[in-house]
Structure 1
Amino acid sequence: MRAGRSPLEPRSLKVSRQVNAYAEGSALVELGQTRVLATVSLDPKVPPHMRGKKEGWLMAEYSMLPRATHDRLNRERNLQNGRRHEIQRLLGRSFRSSLDLKFFKNQTLIVDCDVLQADGGTRVTSVLAGYAALFDLADRLIKRGTLSEWPLLHELGAVSVGYVGGQLLVDLEYSEDMQASADLNVVATGSGLILEAQGGAEGQPITPEQYSELLRAGVAAAGALSRALHAQL
């Protein structure tokens, strides 16, 4: 057992909505000791490649606050940061896959995910937080009468999974992530459909069977986290 949970058991999840008084949608998600604040802003224009189309657009931004980790990080002023861009692309693809953008024609949704405290799984916690903030936005727009139909297409979940010391673990804490010989970040729907699987071997290659085992465990745990998330929305 690791900190009171089994190898295939995700950490405890806590969700708080409407945590920002100014954003159109917002949520704070805590997955174990990892905490992410997400806000959604509506911009009444679209980028050039979306002009004249029937759908709106969604983009995501990700950052870590300086004391999100044990040692202070410099603020991310370099827009060319490769890890940051990789995570932002993961978030953008995940959110666009779960949202019907025809309801936001000529608008851009900007999902900002800021890591307040990191203990492994910051990108998957950002997926959960960003989705919760989009849920908050949709709920507000429906209640206000701005939208007549629910715009979210899927109930989203996300989790990390990896082999640590030869054992398959889901929802890796930082100490586990640093020892993983292979790991994946899995984004999936509550019904078990895969939106994204990102990762692989850290040292020696793994077999297709091992990769499939990681993916299956990730999909199952992402579904469990999706259900836990929606129980609090």
Structure 2
Amino acid sequence: MTSLPPRPGLPLREGRDLLTPRPLFVERGINPHAPGSAHLKLGRTEILATVSIEDKPAPHMRGKKEGWLTAEYAMLPRATTDRQARDRNLQNGRRHEIQRLLGRALRSCIDLRHFRNQTLYVDCDVLVADGGTRVASVLAGYAALHDLSDRLIHAGTLTEWPLIHAVGAASIGLIGDELRVDLDYAEDKVARADLNVVATADGLLIEAQGGAEEGPITQAEYVRLLTAGVEAVGGLLKDVQRQL
């Protein structure tokens, strides 16, 4: 697929073409108190992800052969251009939606039979937001689980590698007729359709979340978004794995 320069009046991409994600940097082991952690930057968006292990099964997992993984998501007050009050409302719809997405995505990458009678908590905190915070949180959460797995193997706590898939996510949007990969905030707010695609490194689809913003799109456009999303995830995960 050939990338064309953005038409006049559309958001610029700061030197990257339409199908190229923003620069990605990740550092694991960033929190000395957490058994697994990672700091991830995707463009100007920054996420700190930590993993904690509780030696207690989730209530619905008692007596079962595997443990459980749950995720929490929060945005710091100055993650955006204006200060936002700390979110103390556990019923916040957007936060709850993102946490459920993160939990589903990260549970798909790990064999929880290695954590029987335990609960893994993956906390993703947005330090700086410039679009794509939920997809960056999936990538950061995976990196933190990789850090956890490596530490447990080296400590002898686990004898088998618990991660069964490399899992990541990417945002894809249509601005006018242009398909763009990894939208920043300026692009996201003018997209007429966008998807957050969660997939594995080998192209298996886990979830697609999003839709049209300015009226219906065609089935062909949706499939194009989905296909580009899966391809973008593969590229982003190569960057993550290279830096772990």
Q: Tell me the TM-score normalised to structure 2 length.
A: 0.95
Query: Does residue 62 of the first structure (1) align with residue 76 of the second (2)?
Result: no
- For residues 34-63 of structure 1, give each alpha carbon's deviation from its aligned partner in whole angstroms, at most 9, with x where no partner exists: 000000000000121100000000000000
Aligned twin of 1:121: 132
Greater alpha carbon shift after TM alignment, 157-166 vs 111-120: 157-166
Deviating 4+ runs (over 4 angstroms): none
Aligned twin of 1:142: 153
Q: CA deviation at 1:155?
A: 1.1
- For residues 185-231 of structure 1, give each alpha carbon's deviation from its aligned partner in whole angstroms, at most 9, with x where no partner exists: 01111111011110010121011111000000000001000111000
| 3-state DSSP of counterpart to 2:86 | coil
Query: CA separation in 2, counterparts of 1:46 and 1:86?
Result: 23
| 3-state DSSP of counterpart to 1:180 | coil
Q: CA RMSD, aligned part only?
A: 0.6
* Aligned residue runs from structure 1 range 17-28, under 5 A: 17-28=28-39
Q: CA deviation at 1:165?
A: 2.3
| 3-state DSSP of counterpart to 1:191 | coil
The one-letter code sitting in structure 2 at the alignment partner of 1:82 is G
Q: How many residues align?
A: 233
Query: Does residue 38 of the first structure (1) align with residue 49 of the second (2)?
Result: yes
Query: CA separation in 2, counterparts of 1:19 and 1:69?
Result: 23
Q: Tell me the TM-score normalised to structure 1 length.
A: 0.99
The one-letter code sitting in structure 2 at the alignment partner of 1:48 is P
| 3-state DSSP of counterpart to 2:243 | coil
Query: CA separation in 2, counterparts of 1:78 and 1:89?
Result: 16
Q: CA deviation at 1:174?
A: 0.2
The one-letter code sitting in structure 1 at the alignment partner of 2:196 is N
| 3-state DSSP of counterpart to 1:231 | helix
| 3-state DSSP of counterpart to 1:90 | helix
| 3-state DSSP of counterpart to 1:84 | helix
The one-letter code sitting in structure 2 at the alignment partner of 1:97 is S
Fraction of identical pairs, as percent: 65
* Aligned residue runs from structure 1 range 43-122, under 5 A: 43-122=54-133
Aligned twin of 1:182: 193
- For residues 147-197 of structure 1, give each alpha carbon's deviation from its aligned partner in whole angstroms, at most 9, with x where no partner exists: 011100111121100001221000000000000000000111111101111
Contact 2:58 2:118 (8 Å CA) reproduced: no
The one-letter code sitting in structure 2 at the alignment partner of 1:125 is A
Query: Which segments of 5 or more consecutive residues in structure 1 lack a partner in the other structure?
Result: none
Q: CA deviation at 1:13?
A: 0.4
- Which of 173, 177, 181 is matched with 1:170 structurally? 181
Aligned twin of 1:160: 171
Greater alpha carbon shift after TM alignment, 98-107 vs 152-161: 152-161
